Structure 1
Amino acid sequence: MTHRSVHLPVAAQPSLDALVELGVRTEELGFERAWLPETWGRDAVTTLSLIAERTSEVGIGTSILNTYSRSPALVGQTAATLQEASNGRFRLGLGPSGPAVIENWHGVDFERPLRRTREYVDIVRNVVSGDPVNYDGDVFDLRGFRLRCDPPETPPPIDVTGMGPKAVELAGRFANGWHGLMLTQDGLEERLGDLERGADLGDRDVSDVQVSLLLTCCALEDGEEARRLATQHVGFYIGGMGTFYRDALVRQGYEDVANEVHDAWNDDDREHALSLVREELLDDLVCAGTPDEVAEKLAEWEAIDGLNEIDVGLPRSADRDQIDETLAAVAPENR
């Protein structure tokens, strides 16, 4: 059975306590895990520490910590600490993010993203093992680091987030899991082929690599409002987040519309950009509408062979009532 988890929103939360309470709510509703990306909102480490303290069963995880703003040794310490704080419920998601985030927000050159991510996986595993870290890589050269505390009894799994063929191949070859996002069903099937190729290169069984998909959902009795919120969300990510998501859609056969949305958004014609996110594109990327419509669409995704977990994402402009309505509608007990 495909698990259902929640990808906690980074926007539209009035306080840290409100965001943490959403994490608590995921446990109450029976979701597998509460994932939090670290982008431009509250930092993932503080937030997940509080969720771990206020829950007892739900897993917690970073859907992405980028591999530029923290050193790999620090990420290893963080993973060990969150695994201790959650009594073994933590899962680490890593990824390079994209140049718009890394260069513009963090002031770091976006160089060798795949090799850098590969070395992060190696170093973090070394750190959480408790052994001395002596690493001679192409990007990192480390000597003499070692945890000054007991290492986790069970090392946290390490997932890689990626959208391109080589990034997904890397996950299949070296990571415990892969996080996909902004994918159509056909696009997911194609990336699963990349994952299997990577597993073969690593002499691994692809079934040992957990596949998690971030799938934006909005299930409201007012189905038209749900679709409006989802359209705004998709338009923002295509147009407002550099070229990362645009390029992912180009790879999946949406070259014309992806470029048109991106260009209109960056020309400050947001209304026109959103008008270009037509029904076909919206239905290929998200589950939005009435609860019954969303349930039917989710069932289609969950039937895809090789998909282990759907991470329910929420439109960036959804308010707390709309978030609560959606989470209740798609809770595991309601499938």
Structure 2
Amino acid sequence: MTIPLGGVPLADHAAVFAALSDAGFTDLWSSEVNGADAFTPLTLAAAWQPRARLGTAITPVFTRGPGLLAMTAASLAEAAPGRFQLGIGASSPVVVGDWNAADFARPYARSRDMLRFLRAALAGETVDRSFETFEIRRFRLERPPAVPPRILLAALRPAMLRLAAAEADGVILNWLAATDVPRVLAEAKSEDPDFDVVARIFVCPTADAAYARTIGRRLIAAYLTVPAYLEFHRWLGREPELAPMWKAWAAGDRKTALAAIPDEVVDELVVHGAPEECRAKVARYAEAGVQVPVMALLPTPELEKQGPTALATLIAALGPA
């Protein structure tokens, strides 16, 4: 499950983590956009759920300096030895540039260089070298973790997928249908038998299909108009279905862009239905080759009306236990 869950303060997440564990969820993964940072929820989870596997999906490679990112990852790896995986990725021009005042330049090269730096730094090595996108002078972690975290790379299109397969310990996928997984993994063939395939899957567990599609359209319009995701879905073959949305969005017509997204695309990319239906649809990702399907829970009418009681019931219904 993606944490933290919306509408629940971080200080109250001990009960949420316990409910997730009781329901059979083994992994707690964080994201980092403009809500909670990636590491604070996982730090709480490390203390409150000492058996849970933890991961970031993702922390951007531009918004922290290399040394700071290494220190932050090392600290969490020390707090949860053997249970933490560091997922990194390029993020987007909005997150990096508009919100964090950094240059979103050469995302492939920056991701590759950060991956190589982190591999060495988290192993306790002294790093003193010029990378293509930054230069490091005699950096060494004062507290290198006894168990270095596995490093996963977020990837969409072939070049980044191949980089993940060649140099990372796993790949993190996002915004794809279960039917897209084989094509994506054909580009991410790793010789590592322990190579992890993680996918974030947006889940709106409600029988109110109109509500779920409204939420889904908003998310699709917000994400799939970002250049990297736009090109990803063009590569996956969705240009005929999404071109009207892209055209309206580029013209500044948000209302027409939302209306142009077909129901079929929403249903492919956003899991919705009763909880048992959602579980079955998420299982299709696993059947297609995803080893760690990570649900990202979206609002539902029931959660909005009933609050914490409905959340506890929903977690129990969604879990594999």
Q: TM above 0.5, one fold?
A: yes
C-alpha displacement of 1:138: 1.4
CA contact (8 A) 2:4 2:41 kept: no
Question: Matched residues in 2 for 1:28 and 1:268: separation?
Answer: 46
Residues 205-234 of structure 1 show CA distances to partners (whole Å, capped at 9, x for unaligned) of: 4x3310011111122354554444334333
Please tell me whether residue 238 in structure 1 is matched to residue 232 in structure 2: no
**Structure 1 contact 65–95 (Cα < 8 Å) conserved:** yes
1:167 to 146, 160, 165: 160
Contact 1:95 1:117 in 2 (8 A): yes
Report the equivalent of 1:112.
Answer: 106
Instruction: Work out the CA distance in 2 between the residues paired with 1:14 and 1:270.
Output: 30
| TM-score (norm: length of structure 1) | 0.84
Q: What are structure 1's unaligned runs of at least 5 residues? A: 1-5
Residues 102 and 110, structure 1, Cα contact 8 Å, conserved in 2: yes
Aligned residues: CA RMSD:
2.5
> After alignment, is 74-83 or 322-331 more displaced?
322-331
Aligned ranges 1:84-163 → 2 under 5 Å: 84-149=78-143, 151-163=144-156
**Of residues 220, 230, 240 in structure 1, which corresponds to 2:206?**
220
Contact 1:238–1:261 (CA under 8 A) maintained in structure 2: no
Tell me the residue number matched to 2:258.
274
Determine the structure 2 residue equivalent to 1:52.
Answer: 46
Residues 257 and 138 of structure 1, relative CA distance in 2, 3 Å threshold: same
- Native 8 Å contact 2:161 2:188 kept in 1: yes
Partner of 1:330: 318
Residue in structure 2 matching 1:251, options 209, 220, 235? 235
Q: Is the 8 A contact 1:134 1:144 kept in 2?
A: yes
1:184 paired with 2:184, answer no
- What code does the residue aligned with 1:216 have? F
Call closer, same or farther: CA 1:270–1:9 in 2, change over 3 Å.
Answer: farther
Contact map agreement 1:314 1:323 (CA 8 A) in 2: no
Contact 2:4 2:10 in 1 (8 A): no
Q: Deviations over 1:73-120 (max 9, x none)?
A: 211111110011123321100001122221211222221211211121
Moved more, 88-97 or 278-287: 278-287
d(CA) in 1 for partners of 2:91, 2:253? 26
- CA–CA distance in structure 2, aligned partners of residues 224 and 105 of structure 1: 32
Residue 286 of structure 1: how far off its partner (Å):
2.2
The change in CA–CA distance for 1:148 and 1:75 in structure 2 (over 3 A counts) is: same
Q: Give how far 1:54 is off.
A: 1.6
Structure 2 residue runs of 5 or longer lacking an equivalent are none
The equivalent residue for 1:7 is 2
Q: How big is the shift at 1:21?
A: 5.0
* Correspondence for 1:3: none
- The 3 A distance-change label for structure 1 pair 299 and 54 is closer
Counterpart amino acid of 2:43? Answer: S
Stretch moving more, 243-252 or 41-50:
243-252
Letter in 1 for 2:220: V
Conserved in 2, the CA contact under 8 Å of 1:13 and 1:19? no
User: What is the identity percentage for the equivalent residue pairs of Structure 1 and Structure 2?
Assistant: 29
Q: CA distance change for structure 1 residues 88 and 302 in 2, over 3 Å: closer, same or farther?
A: closer
User: Under a length normalisation based on structure 2, what TM-score does the superposition of the two structures give?
Assistant: 0.88
Aligned to 1:310: 293
The answer to whether the aligner puts 1:37 opposite 2:20 as a matched pair is: no
